[in-house]
Amino acid sequence: MSASERSRQGKVTFREMTVAQVRERKGLAYLEVAFLESARFYKLFRNNPSFDEIVQQLRDSMATASSLRVACTTLHGDIIDRVQLAGPPAGPSTTKRNG
C-alpha cells in the first residue's frame, strides 16, 4: 500500500513543527523546508497537487512564527505530503477539584 493510500485511509501521522526557512533552488523539482524542531531539510515537490496551497501555508507560518501540523509521505520520511494549521495550544485544565 502506498503512502498516499494510507493517507486516504486516515492512517497519516502529523508532527507539529514551526517553519524556520523555505528555500527555493533553481533547477530542483522541490523546495527545501527547514523546521525549528528538526535538523533535517524536508522536501516539498512541485508535482504535489496542493503545492501552491502548502507553500502559502509554510510562508504564512514562518511569517507569524506559528506552528503547522506536517505529514510526510512516510512515517520517518522527509517528503512533505500535506500540512494543516495547528490548533491552539492546550491551556490549563478548568476541571474543579473538591477539597
The answer to whether 14 touches 70, Cβ cutoff 8 Å, is yes
> What are residue 72's DSSP bridge partners?
80
Q: What is the distance between the alpha carbons of residues 32 and 45, in angstroms, rounded to a whole number?
A: 9
List the chain domain ranges: 3-85
What is the pLDDT, as a whole number, of residue 4?
44
Per-residue pLDDT tens over the stretch 37-65: 999 999 999 999 999 999 999 999 999 99
For the whole model, what pTM was predicted? Answer: 0.76
- Residues 6+ positions from 70 with CB-CB distance below 8 Å: 14, 15, 16, 17, 35, 42, 80, 82, 83
C-alpha cell at 26: 533553481
Query: Which CATH code fits 3-85?
Result: 2.40.50.340
Q: What is the distance between the alpha carbons of residues 96 and 80, in angstroms, rounded to a whole number?
A: 42
Report the relative pairing of strands 80-85 and 30-35 from DSSP bridges.
Answer: unpaired
| Phi and psi based region of residue 87 (left: phi greater than 0; alpha: psi -120 to 50; beta: remaining) | beta
* Confidence band of 3 (pLDDT split at 50, 70, 90): very low
